[in-house]
């Protein structure tokens, strides 16, 4: 495993993240250290870095340098954004940090925006989108086409900078809010109208929007603990913003989902998004858990043009690699599940998207074995739910994949607490896909590839699965028939299994 550290030295926070990876194959976050350095403090009132802010940032970089040495980590890539980009006295910071032997790369506004677009292109299954990254010192708004950055710029509208410039009272007065919104109108009217004219998905990233989203999720009791891929409704954001406007700082710090050290600047960020969504006439926006740090990492992880060919397929393979199981067994279960699904198409009449969910679950069905054999179906479901790696899948789809893993070997498929995240008809969808996956699992029960292929024959009252095998698959047929009741419940046909001598190639 290779390891790469990325330091994001922002206007509000400095964060070191460490990725473990094998180039082009898999990666995972293995460590991080976050420090609220407020490097951009004072730049809402002027153009220079304050001495105390410089010292806090240098202290954080010193900490990261010691961590790097102690863990034998390669020299990290250090990227800096708005504060150092805009400061008239940035050289003072570089003089203080020179002894650390860390090369600090100051990104232009366009380069920062492009890294954000790269992060979105590799974590959402979309070709075109608007991408917004609101930090402490600036906001980047970009247009992504064909998964590439094509246009965009940075605006001096970060949450820290706007708070210092406009929100002096606690809680802010109406006149202060109006002045902040006037500043937004002066800078963002053009991109807001462009968003209105080109209604592409709007994807937002950064600590501000993630905190606001977590607060909304906690308010509504959202059951999935993930912000990436969440659709934050304008109405929900507006309601939260109205409540924040009425609260003093000490009470904002106690709101669930909002980090205490962001509570003083979170309101300005909420006002930016509320104004933009209203002006652009948007129902809401999509949240990215990835950002500039991941965009920088992907330059090392992937060859040019630094894009996964298929975001969804990579995310499933990436999760599988972290908890890998024997590939031959996994491949057999995937193949048999697909063949059963295809053969039963006249009965279930499900779209191709359902087959993709079934395949993802078949790919991941045994990852819980890394915890232990007993209850590995539950362990696997937990890993799918909590590792937060199924990028490109909607939250509904992630829940369905998780439940398919949960019920791949036993139990009566149920939506349970996830009912609010799915669509009408998904109970039946889960039942049918679970029946296909469970049959595939037990037709591969000995993990020896006994059943090479399946043909399906549908009658008025029965469904016959003809198993192509060189020898009688006694174990597989015995175990699979134990779950005939689930099959009948799902498809309304009595299940019949019979072996057919393998005289033709697989799939013929």
Give the residue from 373, 372, 368 showing the smallest Cα distance to 383: 368
pLDDT in tens, the chain (508 residues): 899 999 999 999 999 999 999 999 999 999 999 999 999 999 888 889 999 999 999 999 999 999 999 998 888 999 999 999 999 999 999 999 999 988 999 999 999 999 999 999 999 999 999 999 999 999 999 999 999 999 999 999 999 999 999 999 999 999 999 999 999 999 999 999 999 999 999 999 999 999 999 999 999 999 999 999 999 999 999 999 999 999 999 999 999 999 999 999 999 999 999 999 999 999 999 999 999 999 999 999 999 999 999 999 999 999 999 999 999 999 999 999 999 999 999 999 999 999 999 999 999 999 999 999 999 999 999 999 999 999 999 999 999 999 999 999 999 999 999 999 999 999 999 999 999 999 999 999 999 999 999 999 999 999 999 999 989 999 999 999 999 999 999 999 999 999 987 655 444 3
Residue-wise pLDDT tens digits, 363-401: 999 999 999 999 999 999 999 999 999 999 999 999 999
Q: Which residues contact 415 (CB under 8 A, 6 or more apart)?
A: 403, 422, 426, 427, 430
Domains assigned to the chain: 2-106 (3.30.420.40), 110-293 (3.30.420.150), 311-501 (1.10.3210.10)
Question: What single-letter DSSP state applies at residue 447?
Answer: S
Rounded to whole angstroms, the Cα distance separating 498 from 406 reads 28
**Residues paired with residue 9 on neighbouring β-strands, in sequence order:** 14, 80
Quick one: tokens of 34?
């976050």
Which residues, in sequence order, are CB contacts of 318 under 8 Å at separation 6+? 26, 27, 28, 389
Phi, psi of 71 (to 5 degrees): -100, 10
Kind plus residue range of the DSSP H or E element containing 102: none
SS3 131: strand
Pairing of strands 453-458, 231-233: unpaired
Q: How far apart are CA 436 and CA 413, in angstroms?
A: 12
Residues in a beta bridge with 155:
139
Tell me if residue 361 falls in helix, strand or coil: helix
What is the C-alpha to C-alpha distance for residues 417 and 394, in angstroms, rounded to an integer? 17
- Taking the model in full, what pTM does it have? 0.94
Give the neighbor-by-neighbor strand order of the sheet with 231-233: 148-155, 139-145, 129-134, 202-205, 284-287, 231-233
Whose tokens are 């009425």? That residue is 246
Q: Report pLDDT digits (tens) over 249-307.
A: 999 999 999 999 999 999 999 999 999 999 999 999 999 999 999 999 999 999 999 99
CA 268, 274, 276 angle in degrees (round to 5)? Answer: 105
Contact 230, 287 (CB under 8 A): yes
For CA atoms 321, 441, 462, 491, the dihedral sign is negative
Which pLDDT tens digit goes with each residue over 236-264? 999 999 999 999 999 999 999 999 999 99
Residue 508, pLDDT score: 33
Q: What is the largest CA-CA distance in the chain?
A: 82
The owner of tokens 């090479």 is: 452
The answer to whether residues 136 and 11 touch, using CB atoms and an 8 Å cutoff, is yes
User: What gap in Å lies between CA 5 and CA 22, rounded to an integer?
Assistant: 14
Question: What share of the chain in percent tops pLDDT 90?
Answer: 95
């Amino acid at each position: 495993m290779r390891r790469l550290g990325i330091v994001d030295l922002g206007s509000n926070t400095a964060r070191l993240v460490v990725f473990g990876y094998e180039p082009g194959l898999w990666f995972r976050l293995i460590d991080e250290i976050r420090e609220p350095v407020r490097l951009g403090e004072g730049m809402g009132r002027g153009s220079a870095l304050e001495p105390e802010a410089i010292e806090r940032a240098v202290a954080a970089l010193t900490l990261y340098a010691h961590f790097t040495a102690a863990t034998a980590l390669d020299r990290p890539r250090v990227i800096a954004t708005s504060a150092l980009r805009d400061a008239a006295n940035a050289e003072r910071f570089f003089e203080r940090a020179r002894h650390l032997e860390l090369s600090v790369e100051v990104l232009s506004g366009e380069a920062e925006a492009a890294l954000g677009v790269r992060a979105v292109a590799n974590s959402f299954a979309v070709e075109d989108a608007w991408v917004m990254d609101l930090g402490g010192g600036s906001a980047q708004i970009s247009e992504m086409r064909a998964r590439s950055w094509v246009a965009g710029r940075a605006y001096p509208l970060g949450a820290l900078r706007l708070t210092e410039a406009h929100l002096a009272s606690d809680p802010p007065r109406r006149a202060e809010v109006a002045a902040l919104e006037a500043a937004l109108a002066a800078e963002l009217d053009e991109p807001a109208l462009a968003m209105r004219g080109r209604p592409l998905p709007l994807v937002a990233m950064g600590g501000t929007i993630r905190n606001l989203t977590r607060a909304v999720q906690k308010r509504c009791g959202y059951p999935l603990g993930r912000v990436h891929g969440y659709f934050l409704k304008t109405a929900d954001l507006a309601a939260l913003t109205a409540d924040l406007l009425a609260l003093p700082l000490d009470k904002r710090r106690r709101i669930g989902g909002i980090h205490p050290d962001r509570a003083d600047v979170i309101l300005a960020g909420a006002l930016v998004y509320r104004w933009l969504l209203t002006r652009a006439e948007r129902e809401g926006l999509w949240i990215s858990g990835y950002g500039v740090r991941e965009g920088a990492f992907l330059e090392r992880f992937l060859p040019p043009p630094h894009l996964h060919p298929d975001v969804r397929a990579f995310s499933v393979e990436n999760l599988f690699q972290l908890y890998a199981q024997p590939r031959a067994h996994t491949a057999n279960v995937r193949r048999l599940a697909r063949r059963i699904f295809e053969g039963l198409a006249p009965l279930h009449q499900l779209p191709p998207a359902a087959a993709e969910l079934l395949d993802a679950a078949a790919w991941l069905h045994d990852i819980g074995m890394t915890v232990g054999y007993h209850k590995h179906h539950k362990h696997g479901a937990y890993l799918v739910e909590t590792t937060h790696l199924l990028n490109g899948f909607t939250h509904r789809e992630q829940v369905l994949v998780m439940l398919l893993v949960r019920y791949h070997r036993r139990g009566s498929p149920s939506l349970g607490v996830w009912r609010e995240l799915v669509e009408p008809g998904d109970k039946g969808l889960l039942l049918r896909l679970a029946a296909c996956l469970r049959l595939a699992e037990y037709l591969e029960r000995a993990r020896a590839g006994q059943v090479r292929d399946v043909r399906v024959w549908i009658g008025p009252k029965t469904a016959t699965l003809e198993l192509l095998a060189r020898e009688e698959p006694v174990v597989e047929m015995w175990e699979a028939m134990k779950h005939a009741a689930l099959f009948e419940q799902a498809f309304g046909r009595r299940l019949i299994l019979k072996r057919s001598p393998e005289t033709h190639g697989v799939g013929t």
